[in-house]
Amino acid sequence: MSAAGDRLGPRVRALAEALEAAEGRGDAAVLEKAKAVVDRAGERVAFSGSYTVIALAGATGSGKSSLFNAVTGTDLAHVAVRRPTTSKAMAVSWGTELPHELLDWLDITARRLVPAGPNAFSDLVLLDLPDHDSTELAHRLTVDRLVELVDALIWVVDPQKYADAALHDGYLKRLAPYAEVMMVVLNQSDRLAPEELDRCLRDLRRLLDAEGLKATPIMATSALRGTGVRELRASLAATVANKQAMARRLSTDVTVAAGALADDLGSGPVPELDEDLTDHVVRVLGDAAGVPVVVDGVRKAWRKRGSAATGWPFVSWLGRLRPDPLKRLRLDVGSGEHSPTEVNRTSLPRATAVQRARADQGLRELTDGASAGLPRGWAQAVRAAAAGREWLLLDRLDTAIAGADLSVRRGTWWWGLFGVLQWLLILAVVGGLAWLFANPLLVALGLPTLPPVAWYGVPAGTWLLAGGLLGGVLLAVLGRVLVEIGANAHARTARRSLDDAVAAVVDDEVLEPVRLELDRYRRARAAVAAAARVR
């Protein structure tokens, strides 16, 4: 295979990769044309890739069929004119057998073999197309179809209609990228004087150059007198021998399709997820899922539990009668408190309308930023990726909150110490009371009394009673201060843990799908660039 053919395979694969990435996102018409190019390239190479297919196309009265006969040395074109179905093209090949698979792919049923040994036309398939300006729609459709499939085109024009708009506007201008695999032949040159022929060729050259066809050669022929026929045959033989017409045609197909796809994809910078907007979304979704309620519950639960453990036992028992804020939310529940078949969910209140509105607005702002500058289909895909599992988002957030480590049971070691001290002080109060009332009771019972013990003139029982009461109150106040500090610290720790849990869900359900969509867009652009790269 030629160098152009060697480069063709990777470019076709790159175009196919771009198509796969852009599926459902790019312009449907552009994608359809690009897919046709990928399919056509694979099929064309598979069907007799060694053959070169060249078509003669022209307008009514241009002498195309006569020139076809002159080039082939046959009168087959005249036979073709007398066919009942004139909309079908005819193919001629030289050698010992026809390339039937290739002709089947071209959908050409009228096919003729010119028996010959190895020669310059051995790998040539020459087509005679219907008139491109025919009043018969079937004729024009056949021309349009085969123009997309052949390896090279020879446009046959005559001195009267070489500037015809049907040819230039309908075909030549839009086929400008294929200038290297086309030729324009001015037939019926015998009708012009030498100076008229020269002027006509200069004007034709000017028209072609203005239409982007500077690489398209022109030639003057006369099928009637044989003028230029030898040169045309030599050009055909050189094209066949070069073995690059097919690769150049398909390579141009890929270039055109890649260019259209690149225009559809755009060339602006690929947007990124904004970190500030991401943090905002995590916060508002956390608020909607009940994170502030849980944080407040952690603070209150730590305060309640700590006060009960470190407070003055004479009154702290009252706090135990109040429900635990976290257990009421079905949080910080021990494993034994769950049913084995129960789904771990919270009892958090539903998000308010305001919270939902803020969450929706945050998601819109995030996706708007992530899709800014993208083509419409890709922007819609980014938004759809972010909202694809929105119905599951709040449920997953609730589950994440239920499973978050709130650290409520940590840092409570000192509670036990305070509890022991409080009960020791309670024993002091009880001992003081017992000491104070022991002698009156013994006197009443007629028993010997205890010897009096005093410090600084104050009975020991009074010291124990007063010390126990005062110490218990002071220890309870100190415990209350430390519990409040701990409650606030644990609330902050819980907030971080909950934010991390919410962020993980948001990343999984919202951010990662958006990132995958943006990565897909990058892959599409990279693949298109590789497909468009000729060298």
Q: Are residues 79 and 197 in the same domain?
A: yes
Q: What's the pTM?
A: 0.78
Integer-rounded Cα Rg, in Å, for the chain is 46
pLDDT value at residue 476: 81
Q: Of 231, 265, 299, which marks where a domain is finished?
A: 265
Average pLDDT of span 205-228: 93
**Span of 6-10, 152-156, 374-378 with lowest mean pLDDT:** 6-10
| pLDDT tens string 40-72 | 988 888 876 689 999 999 988 888 888 998 998
**How many domains does the chain fold into?**
3
Helix/strand/coil percentages in the chain, nearest 5:
65, 10, 30
| pLDDT tens string 339-382 | 443 444 566 667 677 777 787 888 888 888 888 889 999 999 99
Q: Are residues 195 and 221 in the same domain?
A: yes
Judge whether 270 lies within some domain: no
Q: Which residue has the higher pLDDT, 476 or 264?
A: 264
pLDDT value at residue 48: 64
**Span of 10-14, 195-199, 295-299 with lowest mean pLDDT:** 295-299
Taking the C-alpha atoms of residue 527 and residue 316, their distance in angstroms, rounded to an integer, is 71
Taking the C-alpha atoms of residue 292 and residue 491, their distance in angstroms, rounded to an integer, is 10
Residue 77 has pLDDT above 70, yes or no: no
* In contact, 39 and 6? CB cutoff 8 Å: no
pLDDT value at residue 6: 64
Q: At CA 258, angle to CA 256 and CA 264, rounded to 5?
A: 105
Judge whether 363 lies within some domain: yes
Q: Are residues 171 and 193 in the same domain?
A: yes
| pLDDT tens string 139-148 | 889 999 999 9
Average pLDDT of span 292-299: 82
Q: Are residues 55 and 202 in the same domain?
A: yes
Taking the C-alpha atoms of residue 419 and residue 261, their distance in angstroms, rounded to an integer, is 75
Residue 34 has pLDDT above 50, yes or no: yes
- Name the token pair of 260: 């259209």
Residue 1 has pLDDT above 50, yes or no: no
Q: What is the CATH number of the domain that holds 182?
A: 3.40.50.300
Strand ranges (DSSP E) for 96-193?
A: 110-115, 124-128, 152-157, 182-186
Q: Pairing state of beta strands 454-455 and 458-459?
A: antiparallel
Nearest Cα neighbor of 395 from 514, 285, 516 is 285
Q: Are residues 427 and 494 in the same domain?
A: yes
- Dihedral of the CA atoms 53, 59, 60, 64 (nearest 10)? -40
- Helices of type H across 135-220: 137-147, 165-167, 194-210
- Name the token pair of 198: 């020269």
Q: Which residue has the higher pLDDT, 523 or 83?
A: 523
Give residue 487's identity as a one-letter amino acid code: A
Q: Of 198, 231, 265, which marks where a domain is finished?
A: 265
* pLDDT band, very low/low/confident/very high, at 326 (cuts 50, 70, 90): low
| pLDDT tens string 86-139 | 357 899 999 888 999 999 999 999 899 988 888 889 889 999 999 888 888 888
Residue 79 has pLDDT above 80, yes or no: no
Q: Are residues 292 and 429 in the same domain?
A: yes
Hey, is 95 helix, strand or coil? strand
Residue 313 has pLDDT above 80, yes or no: no
Q: Are residues 287 and 338 in the same domain?
A: yes
pLDDT value at residue 4: 54
pLDDT over 90 for what percent of the chain?
36
Q: Are residues 11 and 126 in the same domain?
A: no
Within a 13 Å sphere around the CA of 60, how many CA atoms are in the beta-carbon half? 8
Q: Are residues 427 and 489 in the same domain?
A: yes
Taking the C-alpha atoms of residue 313 and residue 236, their distance in angstroms, rounded to an integer, is 110
Residue 83 has pLDDT above 50, yes or no: no
Q: What is the mean pLDDT of the chain?
A: 83
Average pLDDT of span 310-314: 72
Query: Tokens 């030599």 appear where?
Result: 234
pLDDT value at residue 82: 45
Domain that residue 324 falls in? 275-532
Judge whether 317 lies within some domain: yes
Q: Are residues 357 and 288 in the same domain?
A: yes
Q: Which residue has the higher pLDDT, 325 or 1?
A: 325
Q: Which residue has the higher pLDDT, 292 or 520?
A: 520
Average pLDDT of span 20-33: 94
| pLDDT tens string 437-486 | 777 776 777 777 677 777 777 777 788 888 888 888 888 888 888 888 88
Q: Are residues 203 and 108 in the same domain?
A: yes
Q: Pairing state of beta strands 124-128 and 90-95?
A: antiparallel
Taking the C-alpha atoms of residue 46 and residue 32, their distance in angstroms, rounded to an integer, is 21
Please list, residue by residue across 184-217, b when 16 or more beta carbons sit within 10 angstroms of its beta carbon and e when fewer do.
bbbbbbeebeeeebeebbeebbebbeebebeebe
Judge whether 477 lies within some domain: yes
Alpha carbon separation from 207 to 111, 131, 168, 184, 403 (Å, rounded): 35, 21, 9, 11, 76
Q: Are residues 174 and 254 in the same domain?
A: no
DSSP 8-state symbol, 441:
H
| pLDDT tens string 174-209 | 999 999 999 999 999 999 999 999 999 999 999 999
* In contact, 213 and 247? CB cutoff 8 Å: no
